[in-house]
A and B are shown apart, each in its own frame.
Chain A
Amino acid sequence: MSQSSFDQYANRPEYRAVLKRLEEWLGAHGRSSLDPRVLAREWPDVKAEQLASAIQSLVKAGVLEQVFRVLTPNGVLADGEFPDPSEIPEKLPDRSNNYFETAEADIIPVFKRHVA
């Protein structure tokens, strides 16, 4: 991971604080992927638009890579990552290997650390 500050990716001044927190969070958690729903719960004080914009600015800068995943009817993410929602198949297996219709399911963007 680059040591450069995420601050440089702030295209608007109000995102600086969020980007700084994101940088610290990614550094502290060491996860390979970032689910925005986790941050949404952990940071209730950050507005949804600000958090989403800060994450998207990191995607734009190539720090994070965006993929799409599908929520199973049980509310967990199904296996399979797709670069575009249009590539999501009509059916996917849930954790019990029962296939469900993705047309009825939520699509969640998930962000992976871009390893250069």
Chain B
Amino acid sequence: MRLRIVISTVAALLITAGPMCAADGVAIIVNKANTGADGMTAKQLKQIFSGEKARWTDGQKIQTLATGVAEPEHKGAIQFLFGMSEPEYQKYCLHAVFVGTPQAVPRDSGASSAVLNLVALIPGAIGFVRADLVNGTVKVVKIDGLGPGDAGYVLAGK
């Protein structure tokens, strides 16, 4: 019985982690109407997610979105965007609220599908999701000229 549970759990984990590992990693996405996010550098992206840059070049307010900690792409994206492990990031988020700078933290939007839908709906939104979930409702941002699937892409899957 225990063996069966272990096998089922491992199988479930493999199925869940599969797309993240096998496919194209994490995609940074913006609203389709956004023209200010074309061709961003990794540094610019990090500044946006940490709240240091608050507006797009056309003056529109940036709304940063993150998936919940349970989503498989969260860990890799946070490591890239903030240079932090999950516990460090949790502490960072808490500290931002504590000192009155909540804009330094992307809004936790839960499931990947929620981030996808919100980015499609909010003109100034930017978020990250698993690349294999991206559909035509959003625009994928190239980082240093590379996108998901390109060799050398910084957020490529394993």
Q: Do A and B come from one complex?
A: no
**A residues in contact (CB < 8 Å) with B:** none
Q: Could you tell me which B residues sit within 8 Å of A by CB distance?
A: none
